Structure 1
Amino acid sequence: MAYLNPTQTARPDFIWPVFRFMAVQRGGISQRRIIAFTAPGSLGAGDSDVVMSLRTLGELGFLESQGRGDEASWTLGAMGKGIAVDDYAMFQKRLRSALFASFGPDGRDLADSPAADLIRVLCWFLKSDPHTEFATLASVQTDKTWPSDIASNDTRWGAFQSWGAATGLTASAPHAASACIADCAAAVRQALEELLDPGQEKEALEVLRGLRVLIPVLPGGSLSEAFGFRHESELEAGSALSFALRRWDIEGWLKLDLRSDSKTQIKLFTPDSDFSLLYSTVKRLESAGA
Structure 2
Amino acid sequence: MALLNTPVPYPGEIWAVVRFLASQSGPVASETLRTFLEPHNLDAKKTTTVHYALNTLRSLGLAEESGDGEAWILSGALADLRSDDYAAFQRALRAAVLGLHGHQPAEIADDLRRALVWSLSRDPFSESFSWALVDSRHQKNAPDGELVFVNGSRWSPFVAWAGTLGLGASAPHIAQRYVPDCTCAVRQVLEEHLPADTPADALEVLRLLREHLPVLPGGSISENSGYGLPDDRTVDTALSFALMRGEHEKWLVMSSDSDAKQPIKLQDPERLSMRLCSSITRQEATNV
TM-score, length-scaled by structure 1: 0.89
**DSSP 3-state at the match of 2:265:** strand
Give, in whole Å, the separation in 2 of the partners of 1:258 and 1:201.
11
Give, in whole Å, the separation in 1 of the partners of 2:131 and 2:17.
28
Residue of structure 1 equivalent to 2:33 = 34
**DSSP 3-state at the match of 1:41:** coil
**DSSP 3-state at the match of 1:231:** coil
Q: CA deviation at 1:66?
A: 3.6
- Could you tell me which of 127, 132, 145 is aligned with 2:126? 132
Gaps of 5+ in 1: none
Residue of structure 1 equivalent to 2:255 = 257
1:60-89 deviation digits (Å, cap 9, x = unpaired): 122110467xx6110121221232212111
Residue of structure 2 equivalent to 1:163 = 161
**DSSP 3-state at the match of 1:278:** strand
- Could you tell me which of 278, 281, 284 is aligned with 1:280? 278
1:5-52 deviation digits (Å, cap 9, x = unpaired): 022x222021011101111111111101011111112899x7621111
Give, in whole Å, the separation in 2 of the partners of 1:4 and 1:287.
34
Q: CA deviation at 1:151?
A: 6.6
For the 8 Å contact 2:197–2:283, the answer to whether it is kept is: yes
Residue of structure 1 equivalent to 2:15 = 16
Give, in whole Å, the separation in 2 of the partners of 1:288 and 1:270.
28
- Could you tell me which of 190, 202, 214 is aligned with 1:192? 190
1:199-247 deviation digits (Å, cap 9, x = unpaired): 1221000000000000000000000011111122111111000000011
Give, in whole Å, the separation in 2 of the partners of 1:287 and 1:136.
33
**DSSP 3-state at the match of 1:230:** coil
1:87-131 deviation digits (Å, cap 9, x = unpaired): 1111111111011118977x8xx8x82211110110011011111
Matched, 1:121 2:85: no
Give, in whole Å, the separation in 2 of the partners of 1:236 and 1:30.
51
Identity %: 39
Runs (4+) off by over 4 Å? 102-105, 287-290
Give, in whole Å, the separation in 1 of the partners of 2:35 and 2:252.
45
Residue of structure 2 equivalent to 1:172 = 170
The alignment of Structure 1 onto Structure 2 pairs a total of residues equal to 281
Paired amino acid for 1:241: L
**Cα distance change, pair 99–261 in 1 and its aligned pair in 2 (3 A):** same
For the 8 Å contact 1:265–1:278, the answer to whether it is kept is: yes
Residue of structure 2 equivalent to 1:4 = 4
Gaps of 5+ in 2: none
